[in-house]
A and B are shown apart, each in its own frame.
Chain A
Amino acid sequence: MRIHEYLEIVDKGGGKKAIKCIKCNHEFCDAKENYKEYALYRERPLSVFTSRKLLSGEEPFVVYQEYICPGCGILLEVDPYCELLDKENKIVWDIQVDV
């Protein structure tokens, strides 16, 4: 079952299912878990892109959270993240399909 542009849930037999990368077949985790916790993670300021710098010189409230496939380096998801508000709730579990 494809749940994401680059991720699918595959049957491993014995009643077990896993989330895998469609590009490189990297296995992230059991289908009942959050794939983001098993991805490579980095934070980057919005200013890594020249066009996202504010002319006022103000800093945005957020940074980019980038989730990357450890197998092939494809970018899986980019979430804005505000540490001031969500230090304790850093990662959004965006896809939790009943399996």
Chain B
Amino acid sequence: MSERIDAIKYEIFTHRLWRILEEGRIAMKMVSGSSVVVEGGETLSCFYDTNGVPTLSAAGVLLHLTGARDFIVKCIEWYEKDPGINEGDQFFFNDYYIGGQHLADEIVIKPIFWKGKRVAWTSAFMHTPETGGVEPGGMPVSATEIFHEGPRFLGLKIVEAGKFRPEVFKTITDNTRDPLLVGLDAKARIAANNVCAQKYLELVGAYGIEFVQAASKKIIKDSEKMSRDFLRKLPNGTWRARQYADTTGFDSKPFKVHCTMTKKDDELTFDLTGSSPQNPDSINSAFPATFGAVFVTLASQLFGNIPWNGGMIAPMKVIAPEGSVVNPRFPAAACQAPPTVGEMITATSHECVAKMLFAAGIYDRVNSGWSGGNGSFPHLGGVNQYGDSFGAQILDVFSSGAGAAPYRDGVDTAANMMNPSSQISDCEVTEQNVPLMYLQRMNGIDSGGFGKFDGGMGPEHIYMIHGGDNIHMGNAGIGKRAPAGFGMFGGYSTGLEEGIYVKDSDIAEMFKQSKVPVSYADVMKLKGEKVFAPAAMKVMPVKSFDILKTRHAGGGGYGDPLERDIEKVFQDVRLHAISIETAKEAYGVIINPKTNKVDNEATEAERKRIIAERLKEGRRLK
């Protein structure tokens, strides 16, 4: 049938199918009240064939595109015979050993029936702000088993034969600290599935079931062909990358992810052998999450113009040794997967892909590492300013810096690679929902990697607890004691993440003088107990007027910094993208602070001195 499909009709159908999925995402945003969805855009709508193979997706968080399919496969395997998968049913899952990244990634899947026969599936996937784990906020970093992260849901029928089941709904919502937002999220998924299923059936009515199913198969087949055709144009070879990071807590230890990418003809293998053994904390990535993290690289860097579905990933293979950080054994905790090991898998696979694309001469798709760590990513919970129970994450990390490219600097406070359609969270909305105030939000000076082209800047923030005294707060992520985003071809890696809490601060005195802190120096001057937080830290009690200052990494640099145009370095200093010290130390550019001008003679001498020093200090390995 597919060979006989009219090309124009097929293109219109494909576009309509994609628009329906975007409508599904809009439905989720309209119903949900959580900032991770409404502003962060952590949503996925997808259609699948009758067996769970993705036909077309719209996202959102790229991590989830592959992570959702296995819920359908398991639903069929477990429940087809008993209690049955019937028209009007919807199933609720969240177990990341089946799909998704962590328990906060909840999905509702819905079979689509036509004339009594199941013809497709649709799914709505969203991150929810609370899971009822041992810490508030859905990512309890002190978890050491999945059981500490909250209840696992393995296919509860939240809708049965079209009837909403309040007892299932209440079980899901009331097992968390934030039943209101978690409940809205659950209903948002159901709403999105209803939109997608209804519109899908309208397409069936318009085009006929035979055409819809044949065209859906063709979308998958075409994606695979496009992926394989593109791979054949690239050179064969092997590329390798590794990244280090820090584990949870004040006694954090280093660990690593190692990626070997082998491209042969139209096949691509990512072998993560060499990655560290699984961590005893919650910094691990279960295999579905690992697969999704590689997919982020493919979707955003390699196959950006190919429809995202099961065909696109057909040429790809991921090897992840069991018992390692990239494939821990059940019931190891992994709630920090997305901003930690997941980011590292994406970063190392991205580095391999970027260097392969460069060797193919496809320079416009090459860029250095994006901020790949999200350290000091705050989560908090307790009783909010309205006297209600709450749990939340602050998602400013979605505005991380992007990597530099062979012909330009990286974009400042751009996006997180796993969620390129995200928006930076709205301060006012966050302050309305959470007992917290923003005192500062700005591009972080020196946060990007140094290079001929600089990495984009990451954000800095100063938060103040406001409106509650029964609150616990901590942070998740990596990137404090090892840089998270890679530099490329002589460019340096990203800056380091850092978070400082000031407990019992005297900030009220500063307010009385009509002043607010805007820098680390200002925060350090505050009186109170200073806590230098590790990148991931379990919650501690906080109260009104306690302060958290965070700094997030930017993107990686590209090329030797000594090749950077001197005028650009001067402008970077003028715009507070880099400090005057960095201009000298990394770029060899001397700026006279008295005249505020570049000293060209001294700069030329300094650049020559740095080259001579490299040649003198560098030793031959062979």
Contact code string A62-92 (vs B, CB < 8 Å = 1, else 0) = 1010101010111111111010111001011
Among all A-B residue pairs, the 8 with the closest Cβ atoms: A40-B618, A56-B532, A51-B446, A5-B489, A75-B490, A73-B611, A61-B254, A97-B237
- Additional A-B contact list (17), CB under 8 Å, known A91-B621, A97-B235: A5-B488, A39-B621, A40-B618, A41-B620, A42-B618, A48-B585, A50-B581, A51-B446, A51-B495, A55-B532, A60-B496, A64-B492, A68-B618, A78-B490, A80-B243, A82-B482, A84-B254
- A49-B586, A51-B581, A70-B618 known; A98 and B236 CB under 8 Å? yes
State the interface size on chain A (CB cutoff 8 A).
53
Q: Which of A1-58 contact B (CB under 8 A)?
A: 1-6, 36-42, 46, 48-52, 54-56, 58
- Structural contact, B238 and A96, CB atoms closer than 8 A: yes
Q: Which residues of A contact B621 (CB under 8 A)?
A: 36-39, 41, 91
- A62-B244, A62-B482, A95-B237 known; A38 and B495 CB under 8 Å? no
Q: Could you say which of A74, A84, A92, A97 contacts B241, with CB atoms under 8 Å apart?
A: A92
Closest-by-CB residue of B relative to A97 is: B237
How far is the CB of B580 from the nearest CB of chain A, in Å?
Answer: 10
Q: Which residues of B contact A74 (CB under 8 A)?
A: 490, 560, 562-563
Q: Which residues of A contact B622 (CB under 8 A)?
A: 37-38
State the interface size on chain B (CB cutoff 8 A).
66
22 example contacts (A-B, Cβ-Cβ < 8 A) are as follows: A2-B361, A3-B358, A41-B618, A42-B617, A46-B483, A49-B582, A49-B585, A50-B582, A51-B446, A51-B581, A54-B532, A55-B520, A66-B618, A68-B618, A73-B612, A74-B563, A75-B614, A78-B487, A78-B493, A80-B482, A95-B239, A96-B239
Closest-by-CB residue of B relative to A94 is: B240
Q: Report the Cα distance A1→B6, complex, angstroms.
A: 42
Closest-by-CB residue of A relative to B489 is: A5
Q: Which residues of B contact A52 (CB under 8 A)?
A: 495-496
Q: Which residues of A contact B243 (CB under 8 A)?
A: 80
Q: Which residues of B contact A56 (CB under 8 A)?
A: 498, 500, 532
Interface of B is mostly: mixed
| B543 contacts chain A at the CB level, 8 A cutoff | no
How far is the CB of A65 from the nearest CB of chain B, in Å?
Answer: 11
| B559 contacts chain A at the CB level, 8 A cutoff | yes
| B2 contacts chain A at the CB level, 8 A cutoff | no
| B161 contacts chain A at the CB level, 8 A cutoff | no
| B558 contacts chain A at the CB level, 8 A cutoff | yes
- Structural contact, A55 and B482, CB atoms closer than 8 A: no
- A50-B582, A80-B483, A95-B359 known; A61 and B244 CB under 8 Å? yes
- A49-B586, A61-B254 known; A55 and B500 CB under 8 Å? yes
Closest-by-CB residue of A relative to B359 is: A3
Q: Report the Cα distance A28→B274, complex, angstroms.
A: 27
How far is the CB of B531 from the nearest CB of chain A, in Å?
Answer: 10
Q: Which residues of A contact B (CB under 8 A)?
A: 1-6, 36-42, 46, 48-52, 54-56, 58-62, 64, 66, 68, 70, 72-80, 82, 84-86, 89, 91-98
- Structural contact, B237 and A76, CB atoms closer than 8 A: no
- A73-B615, A93-B240, A97-B235 known; A4 and B489 CB under 8 Å? yes
| B18 contacts chain A at the CB level, 8 A cutoff | no
Q: Could you say which of B480, B489, B615 contacts A76, with CB atoms under 8 Å apart?
A: B489
Q: Which residues of B contact A58 (CB under 8 A)?
A: 480-481, 532
Q: Report the Cα distance A3→B487, complex, angstroms.
A: 16
Best-surrounded residue of A41, A78, A79, A82 (most CB of chain B within 10 A): A78
| B467 contacts chain A at the CB level, 8 A cutoff | no
- Structural contact, B359 and A1, CB atoms closer than 8 A: yes
How far is the CB of B560 from the nearest CB of chain A, in Å?
Answer: 4
Q: Which residues of B contact A (CB under 8 A)?
A: 235-244, 246, 254-256, 274, 276, 351, 355, 358-359, 361, 406, 445-446, 450, 452, 480-483, 487-493, 495-496, 498, 500, 520, 524, 532, 558-563, 578-579, 581-582, 585-586, 611-612, 614-615, 617-622
- Structural contact, A85 and B255, CB atoms closer than 8 A: yes
- Structural contact, A4 and B358, CB atoms closer than 8 A: yes
How far is the CB of B281 from the nearest CB of chain A, in Å?
Answer: 16
Q: Which residues of B contact A49 (CB under 8 A)?
A: 446, 450, 581-582, 585-586
- Structural contact, A6 and B490, CB atoms closer than 8 A: yes
Q: Report the Cα distance A97→B488, complex, angstroms.
A: 17
- Structural contact, A86 and B256, CB atoms closer than 8 A: yes
Q: Which residues of A contact B359 (CB under 8 A)?
A: 1-4, 95, 97
Q: Which residues of A contact B237 (CB under 8 A)?
A: 95-98
Q: Which residues of A contact B488 (CB under 8 A)?
A: 5, 77
- A50-B585, A80-B244 known; A73 and B480 CB under 8 Å? no
- Structural contact, A40 and B615, CB atoms closer than 8 A: yes
Q: Report the Cα distance A64→B532, complex, angstroms.
A: 24
Q: Which residues of B contact A95 (CB under 8 A)?
A: 237, 239, 355, 359
Q: Which residues of A contact B498 (CB under 8 A)?
A: 54-56
- A1-B359, A98-B237 known; A76 and B490 CB under 8 Å? yes
Q: Which residues of A contact B582 (CB under 8 A)?
A: 49-51
Q: Report the Cα distance A89→B242, complex, angstroms.
A: 11
Q: Which residues of A contact B235 (CB under 8 A)?
A: 1, 97-98
Closest-by-CB residue of B relative to A83 is: B254
Q: Report the Cα distance A42→B493, complex, angstroms.
A: 16
